[in-house]
């Protein structure tokens, strides 16, 4: 294909005969590098950006190894400079396109099958807080295991610039601070949120986001769950410092936000204290530097000698 892209249509047969050493070296290099790298063992329908970057690296290595082997054999006789570049580009495009098509087909199949299995409106509507691999896995789990009982209405983030994007065909509706407006907007469209799943560790949430969740928990019957707690990955020391003063509900994984006002105030106090320490440190450094310069001995200069 690379030879055809170069426009060698007339002498295609002769060119391929000349390129036999390079073709053989390319096949051998690709077989070894792709096999050692494990590209033959990856699942195409779960391919990700990391897999695509791996394909690019291994393709470049395969072409470079083929060039080295051919150079040792016949000094790259008949191999044009643009041929390896075109070859590497074609390998990357074809391998990534095949994996992307397989993933799209599988995702579409899961999405369609989930819609077909759902009889009418889903019984439970869920919002997810946070965009990461955990939230993506949770969306896939809902589609795979609970498509008849639940649906994910959207995701909430702390970065406004992510609004409007999609994760696993699930839209990012807005920020956590806009939670009340998002809930009202969903109700207008006939979706009443039953559960909010927090896929981010609670100590990473800003206090504005915690306040928004607190208001929803107080003013509605929406259940708030933390995946880190359900999975058993909460650090007891972090719980004691971050979640001090909170009351636990009877259901595992659910957490009441009563007492979070105190935690927010503590966080604000810690932030103010850290800011004061930082400013004090700057003043100390500049003050010490200024005093060092002022009290430093000034070398005596003999102006008469300089003038001579």
Q: What is the pLDDT of residue 302?
A: 53
Cα 229 from Cα 227, distance rounded (Å): 5
- Let me know whether 130 and 229 are in one domain: yes
> Which tokens belong to 190?
């006939």
Domain boundary among 67, 89, 110: 110
Chain-centre distance for alpha carbon 17: 47
DSSP category for residue 275: H
- Let me know whether 161 and 235 are in one domain: yes
**Considering just the CA atoms, what is the radius of gyration of the chain in Å?**
31
Contacts of residue 88, Cβ cutoff 8 Å, sequence gap at least 6: 59, 60, 63
Evaluate whether residue 216 is within a structural domain.
yes
Cα 117 from Cα 56, distance rounded (Å): 39
Q: What is the pLDDT of residue 149?
A: 85
Contact 191, 125 (CB under 8 A): yes
Evaluate whether residue 297 is within a structural domain.
no
Write the CATH number for 139: 3.40.50.720
**% helix / strand / coil in the chain, to the nearest 5?**
65, 10, 25
Evaluate whether residue 272 is within a structural domain.
no
Evaluate whether residue 277 is within a structural domain.
no
Domain boundary among 110, 130, 165: 110
User: What is the b/e burial string over 90-123, where b = at least 16 CB atoms within 10 angstroms of the residue's CB?
Assistant: ebbeebbeebeeebeeebeebeeebeeeeeeebe
* Domains: count for the chain: 2
Kindly give the pairing relationship between strand 170-175 and strand 166-167. antiparallel
Give me the phi and psi of 25, to 5 degrees please: -65, -35
Can you tell me which residue has the tokens 């990473």? 204
Mean pLDDT, each 10-residue run in order, the chain (308 residues): 86 89 95 89 77 92 94 90 94 94 78 55 83 89 85 89 83 90 86 90 84 88 87 60 44 44 49 59 71 62 51
- Let me know whether 170 and 246 are in one domain: yes
Contact 135, 128 (CB under 8 A): yes
- Let me know whether 87 and 194 are in one domain: no
Cα 53 from Cα 69, distance rounded (Å): 25
Q: Which domain holds residue 211?
A: 120-264
Domain boundary among 56, 80, 110: 110
DSSP H or E segment with residue 156: strand 150-157
- Let me know whether 84 and 216 are in one domain: no
Evaluate whether residue 221 is within a structural domain.
yes
Cα 256 from Cα 246, distance rounded (Å): 7
Give the Å distances, CA to CA, from 29 to 33, 37, 241, 299: 6, 12, 55, 68
Q: What is the pLDDT of residue 300?
A: 55
- Let me know whether 95 and 223 are in one domain: no
Q: What is the pLDDT of residue 228?
A: 83
- Let me know whether 253 and 202 are in one domain: yes
Give the Å distances, CA to CA, from 103 to 5, 72, 108, 118, 140: 28, 40, 8, 22, 13
- Let me know whether 31 and 135 are in one domain: no
Evaluate whether residue 223 is within a structural domain.
yes
Question: Collapsing DSSP states into helix, strand and coil, what is residue 224?
Answer: strand
167 strand-pairing partners: 170
Evaluate whether residue 180 is within a structural domain.
yes
Q: What is the pLDDT of residue 187?
A: 86
């Amino acid at each position: 294909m690379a030879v055809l892209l170069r426009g060698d249509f007339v002498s295609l047969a002769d060119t391929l005969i000349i390129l036999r050493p390079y073709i053989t070296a390319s096949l051998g290099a690709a077989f070894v590098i792709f096999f050692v790298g494990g590209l033959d063992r990856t699942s195409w329908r779960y391919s990700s950006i990391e897999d695509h970057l791996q394909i690019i690296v291994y393709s470049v290595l395969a072409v470079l190894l083929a060039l080295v082997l051919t150079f040792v054999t016949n000094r790259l006789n008949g191999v044009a400079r643009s041929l390896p570049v075109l070859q590497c580009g074609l390998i990357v495009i074809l391998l990534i396109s095949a994996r992307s098509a397989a993933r799209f087909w599988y995702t579409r199949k899961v999405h369609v099958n989930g819609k077909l299995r759902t009889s009418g409106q889903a019984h439970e509507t869920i919002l997810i807080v946070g965009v990461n691999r955990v939230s993506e896995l949770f969306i896939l789990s809902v589609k795979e295991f609970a498509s008849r009982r639940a649906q994910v209405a959207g995701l909430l983030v702390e970065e406004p610039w992510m609004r409007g994007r999609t994760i696993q065909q699930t839209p990012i509706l807005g920020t956590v601070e806009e939670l009340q407006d998002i809930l009202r907007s969903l109700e207008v469209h006939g979706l009443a949120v039953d559960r909010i799943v927090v896929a981010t560790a609670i100590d990473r949430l800003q206090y504005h986001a915690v306040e928004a969740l607190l208001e929803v928990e107080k003013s509605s019957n929406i259940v708030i769950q933390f995946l880190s707690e359900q999975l058993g990955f909460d650090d007891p020391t972090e719980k004691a410092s971050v979640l001090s003063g909170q009351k636990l509900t009877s259901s595992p994984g659910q957490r009441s936000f009563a007492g979070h006002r105190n935690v927010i105030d503590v966080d604000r106090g810690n932030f103010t204290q850290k800011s004061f320490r930082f400013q004090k440190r700057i003043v100390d450094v500049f003050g010490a530097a200024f005093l060092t310069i002022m009290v430093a001995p000034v070398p005596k200069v003999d102006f008469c000698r300089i003038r001579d």
